[in-house]
Amino acid sequence: MLRKGVRRLTLGALLVVSVAALAAATGGAAGLNLVATYDGLSHDAGGVVCNSAQAFTINERHYCLVVTTYSNLKKSGGVEVDLTLKNYDQSTLTNPKATLTWSPSGANLSFVSSNPSNCSAQAGGVTCSFPNIPGVGSGSGPGTTPNTSSVKLFLSSNAAANVGAVDFTGIATAKESGNDNGGAANVEAQTVDQSVDTNAGVMTYGSSPSTDVTFALPGSGSELDASLPRTSSVKFRGGSSPFLAQFQVSQLDPTTPGVCFPGISCTGLDLNTDLSAAPSGTFSGTNQILWTADVVANNTNVVAVHEYDPVSITAAAPKTLTTAGTRFANCDGINFTTAPAGLQAGKDYFVRNATTNGSTTSFQVSDGKGTVSFTGSGSSFSGSCIRIIGDQKAEKITGCTTSTPPNAPAVPPAICVAKIDNSTVRTYLWDDANGHVGY
């Protein structure tokens, strides 16, 4: 989870928007965790639910199907459902298959892809063929860990307004080599539905006005929206494979220490965006992210503060820090996730004396009173670059309106602000890194 909310600031007459980013997919802090998952366990024709204990009390059929659903997703976007086969049998499970169907039809679900790609759309559902699953051996019994095989299914969703949930049904069949039927198809399928467990296979759509979640699908654009406490959104393109994208808006107390950047006041409106599961390279100067938010302000002199994803930082006592790339050459501040002795994790510092040689950037930090010394050299730590956006002319876009966002800038980041009335403005913020926006 992010360490704290984005910072909203005012510098004199300037309203300052701050943006703090969650950790990238390659490491860092965990996500927002707005999605609720549920593992629906299969049952046989007699209604006996398959689990690790009961699996060994049933003759000839020692396998289970688990259907994992993800709730709180938006109605228009992407959906994930996971299918897992578990083999508790002594013998290999051969030619295993599972079929997933759903209702109501008003959910308007369509199969997009699977990982691995062993599934295909069928009339009214999806069928997946699994590889043979080895048995657990002659000594199997209660307490034995089953051998498993799983697949992630991704579906597009465009649910009707009156559809609040989807009921998924999963049915698995298989042959068991070496059973007394000579390897014939096992006629007792394993089924996941609501006849035994009313929660099994159920996916409920999200309805909170402060959160929005989807699975971003490849080759398509996604937008997450929130209406409370203020109208806000984040818009972005999908990556090379589906990924979970989460958005949450909240109102922080701007007088709480740590909410605002040092020496700057803020409004406390917090847009927490978690795109950390996106494949590497998803976002760039040619594939940018657009945040939009209505902010309390009586003028359009708005700047932004972006706290980028944490990166690895090498310490060289007493004052020099080094990181790969050139982003830190433009940093106004840094917040350490982990810090060398003498510096404090979770505290904002100013970046000073940044220099770059093209492949790395070296810098020092200040607490506002002077550059700060630390002890220890050679160890790797992590921290987030904090950059004020809009305090330079090149970072400002003009001509936007309250109804039309600007075109993406040639070189991000950039901000554009349009006045709604005498107390509210609409801000558009483009950048090439996922994260968290505050005002």
Q: What is the pLDDT of residues 72-103, one digit of tens each?
A: 999 999 999 999 999 888 888 899 999 999 99
**Tokens standing for 222?**
């996604």
Average pLDDT over residues 165-188: 70
Q: Half-sphere exposure of residue 165, counting CA atoms within 13 Å on the CB side?
A: 11
Predicted pLDDT at 12: 31
The bridge status of strand 360-366 relative to strand 320-324 is antiparallel
Name the amino acid, one letter, at 87: N
Residue with tokens 């095989």: 149
Predicted pLDDT at 52: 58
Average pLDDT over residues 17-24: 32
What b/e readout covers 116-138, taking b as 16+ CB neighbours within 10 angstroms?
Answer: eeebeeeeebbbbebeebebbee
DSSP 197: -
Q: Chain centroid to CA 144: how far?
A: 34
Among 151, 155, 187, smallest CA distance to 168 is for 155
Distances (CA, A) of 237 to 196, 217, 279, 375: 40, 9, 12, 43
Predicted pLDDT at 21: 29
**Tokens standing for 376?**
């220890």
How many residues would you count in the chain?
Answer: 439
**Tokens standing for 371?**
């550059």
Range with the largest mean pLDDT of 53-57, 337-341, 384-388: 337-341
Cis upstream peptide for 116 (omega within 30°): yes
pLDDT tens, residue by residue, 139-157: 666 667 889 999 999 999 9
Determine contact, residues 226/232, Cβ cutoff 8 Å: yes
Average pLDDT over residues 204-208: 97
For residues 101 and 175, the model is more confident at 101
For residues 374 and 439, the model is more confident at 374
Q: Could you report how far apart the first and last alpha carbons of the chain are, in Å?
A: 20
Predicted pLDDT at 341: 94
The bridge status of strand 14-20 relative to strand 302-307 is parallel
Cis upstream peptide for 413 (omega within 30°): yes
Model-level pTM greater than 0.75? yes
How sure is the predictor about 58, in pLDDT bands with cuts at 50, 70 and 90?
Answer: low
Average pLDDT over residues 167-174: 96
How sure is the predictor about 176, in pLDDT bands with cuts at 50, 70 and 90?
Answer: low
44-196 falls under which CATH superfamily?
Answer: Immunoglobulins (2.60.40.10)
Average pLDDT over residues 108-120: 97
pLDDT tens, residue by residue, 298-347: 999 887 778 887 899 999 999 999 999 998 999 999 999 999 999 999 99
Name the amino acid, one letter, at 206: G
CA distance 127 to 100: 6
Average pLDDT over residues 406-435: 93
How sure is the predictor about 8, in pLDDT bands with cuts at 50, 70 and 90?
Answer: very low
DSSP 107: G
Residue with tokens 């994992």: 68
Q: Chain centroid to CA 330: how far?
A: 27
CB neighbour list of residue 329: distance below 8 Å, 6 or more residues apart = 354, 355, 356, 361
Average pLDDT over residues 245-260: 89
Average pLDDT over residues 421-437: 89
At residue 115's C-alpha, the angle toward residues 110 and 117, to 5°, is 80
Name the amino acid, one letter, at 171: I
Evaluate if residue 165 carries a pLDDT over 90.
yes
What residue spans define the domains of the chain? 9-33+208-307+389-438, 44-196, 311-387
Predicted pLDDT at 180: 42
Among 374, 394, 395, 392, smallest CA distance to 383 is for 374
Lowest mean pLDDT among 41-45, 128-132, 238-242: 41-45
Residue with tokens 């599972």: 98
pLDDT tens, residue by residue, 117-139: 999 998 889 999 999 999 887 66
Determine contact, residues 290/275, Cβ cutoff 8 Å: no
